[in-house]
Chain A
């Protein structure tokens, strides 16, 4: 088991290094010069060309791409992601500040999606081809196919503007406002994020449950005279949940992508909004930090999915060890 994890970790590091090179090159290929942008032509007064050149040297943008990369990776392994071009603050510090709000949004969204999606999916499987199943299917397809930004705008209009039950944007009222205030601000964005994600969970849970329900051992269990409740509860449910662990882990990056959009609409001060602002401002250090963080997240989630699966299902572990 340990060697399996170590091997997977080693592969992850290589993949990460590859991603960093690719990213670095791609970012430099983005049109537009950050040094030019930092000396705003419409408000600057003085020798602009000299000021731009001074900025370029300060930022090390006059060096070759290779030198810039080596410098950056050297700092990266020490946990330092450089300094933001636009605010001059350490990128690590900015990302840590932004991580809290994003984790709050994603974590709550995920819990909502799990608490809604999995029970509904299982219920739909057990009541297959009844009104409950059809209802769940239609709802989950709606959740999957309507873009979350649209649901978000409807949500803001109905609950924020028309009914006035919930705030329209932001993470808290002016100045913080305490736990109740934070929760009120969380309801709409996290609820909508959870709704979008619950759709796929319903589908997966339903499919997994149906597959298990068709297995021979369930027929056996039932023929032994076990109560239906016990057959479903102990035998079917547990086996159906195994593949869902993987699905949840692999879907976390999708959740992250959804959070980027939700953050933008709700003026949520998280990492997604930071990344979009950084794209507009050509803030390469922030962009690099953000995309690397996403890469790490994706690799980590895949790793966790593999390991979790190996632990839960001995067949995977054996074949994994042999390969």
Chain B
């Protein structure tokens, strides 16, 4: 069944919200985001001594009267940012009740909407196996956004994702011009940490959004089972696992999940990366306005 990730109610929820941009990016000309660059906005930024050829209209004559030196008034520049949203499109994301993929797409759409509403550009990327391909061209404006959402609706989740290989190509990473948001369940051996480091190296503000299903947080299985991994190729795949699930092994699972999340938090904390874990059965409002707000992604 074709997904429908946004509707009018969804849009109305987001009308009063915005992405919280903490870093100073260079950005592109023509946007609405204040940047570190000096430009022609109305917001004062600094003074500097006059040099030959400067525009005399920007000389602060009051200072000249006080110090008998000519100073120029500098103003901040406003630019357009380019946010990049990476969706882990592996098979494990197409799992749970409701499926994690739906929650991931809704979040991606919400973040995209908040971007274009602030006159920023947003790009969606799907991570398949060793590939990172753009779901649609960079989106700017509402029409383009709705077209992109249609593409998101059609996104297929299959096989597994090799984060290291997918982020090896720097072309889609961008440089110092906005947020990079990776949405995944992070239940993988793949080197997603290396991918995050590459994004940081490109001067991007990075957020990790982990989506888990309720069954992954508190497993309800018991007895002797052959766990068939959704990303496995066949029954003999190493990803599959024979296991006797007891009360103690469920407890061990929960401890292992906490351990895994602590490792992610430690990693993110050390690098100033925002990290948020969401359960797929949570309402979108809670995901966006409580959980995402707590980590400073949305204001």
Q: Do chains A and B interact in one complex?
A: no
Contact residues of A with B, CB < 8 Å? none
